[in-house]
């Protein structure tokens, strides 16, 4: 497991680009909202900690993780430098988990290939609720923090002339 030896919230602030002039969109799934709100908090706090003005952050909610694709596509049109897609899918008894995870992964990948605004993948795909808690502010840190760090780096890359 990739997170066993790494806390998702650990990063060196001094290695990040200046984010004060970047604009970010965050699209958050309402499904498994106790998890997605934790991920959002990690992303939001990290962006603010790195100098992003709250007025340069735009949040939209979508009903579930599958809807992140459309939400992120529309967010790319909002004059932002990067978009963070936040969702949580927890394994159940049916193949629905597989279809949603694969669809969202491919859909967000396609947005990165087709459009000029990077979309950061912050979709937890866990076997159980405890794994999700551990990665949304628990013992393994917060994947939202990691996504915000990636968004800052990708916003910088996007703006290289």
Residue 135 near residue 89, CB atoms below 8 Å: no
Q: What are phi and psi of 33, to 5 degrees?
A: -65, -25
Comparing CA positions, the residue from 65, 85, 106 lying closest to residue 25 is 85
Question: Which helix H or strand E contains 25, and what residues bound it?
Answer: strand 24-29
Q: Which helix (H) or strand (E) holds 59?
A: strand 57-62
Q: Whole-angstrom Cα distance, residue 158 to residue 82?
A: 8
d(CA 133, CA 100): 20
Q: Which residues are catalytic?
A: 96
């Amino acid at each position: 497991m990739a997170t066993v030896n790494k806390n998702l919230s650990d990063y060196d602030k001094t290695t990040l680009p200046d984010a004060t002039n970047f604009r970010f969109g965050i699209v958050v799934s309402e499904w498994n909202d106790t998890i997605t709100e934790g991920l959002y908090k990690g992303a939001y706090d990290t962006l603010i900690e790195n100098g992003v003005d709250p007025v340069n952050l735009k949040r939209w909610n979508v009903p579930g993780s599958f809807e992140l694709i459309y939400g992120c596509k529309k967010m790319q049109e909002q004059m932002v430098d990067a978009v963070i897609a936040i969702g949580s899918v927890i394994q159940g008894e049916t193949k629905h988990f597989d279809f949603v995870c694969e669809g969202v992964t491919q859909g967000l990948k396609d947005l990165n290939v087709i459009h000029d605004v990077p979309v950061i993948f912050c979709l937890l795909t866990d076997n159980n609720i405890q794994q999700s808690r551990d990665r949304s502010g628990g013992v393994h840190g917060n994947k939202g923090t990691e996504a915000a760090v990636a968004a800052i780096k990708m916003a910088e890359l996007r703006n290289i002339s």
